[in-house]
Structure 1
Amino acid sequence: MKKILSILFAVMILFQSGVIAAEKPDYEKYGQIAIAVVKADYPGEAVTEYQYLGRKKLMNDQVEDGFLFNVTENGKKVDVTVKVRHSLANNKMLNLTVEEITGQ
């Protein structure tokens, strides 16, 4: 019992001292860019949350992260996807596409 408590105490100290820090997901940077783009495309609408759709590996060091937003335009709900293509090697954005999903 003392051994377990000692381990728990050590882990708590590590968390408090910052040795074990929670990392932000690497897609967060591109999620913030996606939010800014959707806010610009749908002004006056509150956009604070999105659903991360996942990552597709493309070629070499390129990947594409997808995001889904639910916004309201003229009183009508609209689903919007944002796809951000970027390089893992230099962490730079290469392409961004915004698309409304229709027929739902």
Structure 2
Amino acid sequence: MKKYFAAILILLSLVTHHQYGLAQKPDYEKYGRMAIAVVAAEYPGDEVKEYEYLGREKLSGTNVIDSFRFQVQENQQPFYVIVKVTHDLSSKKLVHLTVESQKR
């Protein structure tokens, strides 16, 4: 009986942990969606092949920069677009956004 109780307890803790992990979203997700919208507006009709979160750079105070890289294909030629989103962690407000094309 103790083995079944322990197994059920472990199973419940795994299910609870799994559900909790699914509920949490990365704090940069909002700005990733914003970056996707900006790239779609800047390159209408061009196919976005890849999307990658490059990471976070801490600035002074509570400001950070989250960087995203997109591979865009224009006329069969792929190139990268880097979107950098500067925002304030405490107020959760956008401070600055830059789009940089790395065409060859």
* 1:80-95 pair list within 5 angstroms: 80-95=81-96
CA distance in 2, matches of 1:81, 1:29: 16
CA distance in 2, matches of 1:75, 1:6: 55
User: If the length of structure 2 is used for normalisation, what is the TM-score?
Assistant: 0.83
Tell me which residue corresponds to 2:67: 66
Tell me which residue corresponds to 2:54: 53
Number of residues paired by the alignment? 101
Q: Does 1:44 align with 2:45?
A: yes
Give the partner amino acid of 2:46: E
Identity of aligned residues (%): 45
CA distance in 1, matches of 2:87, 2:73: 28
CA distance in 1, matches of 2:72, 2:103: 13
Contact 1:87 1:94 in 2 (8 A): yes
Q: State the superposition RMSD in angstroms.
A: 2.3
User: If the length of structure 1 is used for normalisation, what is the TM-score?
Assistant: 0.83
Structure (1 or 2) with the greater strand fraction: 2
Q: 5+ residue gaps in structure 1?
A: none
Tell me which residue corresponds to 2:80: 79
Tell me which residue corresponds to 1:9: 11
CA distance in 2, matches of 1:13, 1:27: 26
CA distance in 2, matches of 1:33, 1:101: 20
Give the partner amino acid of 2:27: D
Question: Aligned to 2:25, what secondary structure does the other structure show?
Answer: coil
Q: 5+ residue gaps in structure 2?
A: none
Q: CA deviation at 1:48?
A: 7.3
Q: CA deviation at 1:82?
A: 0.3
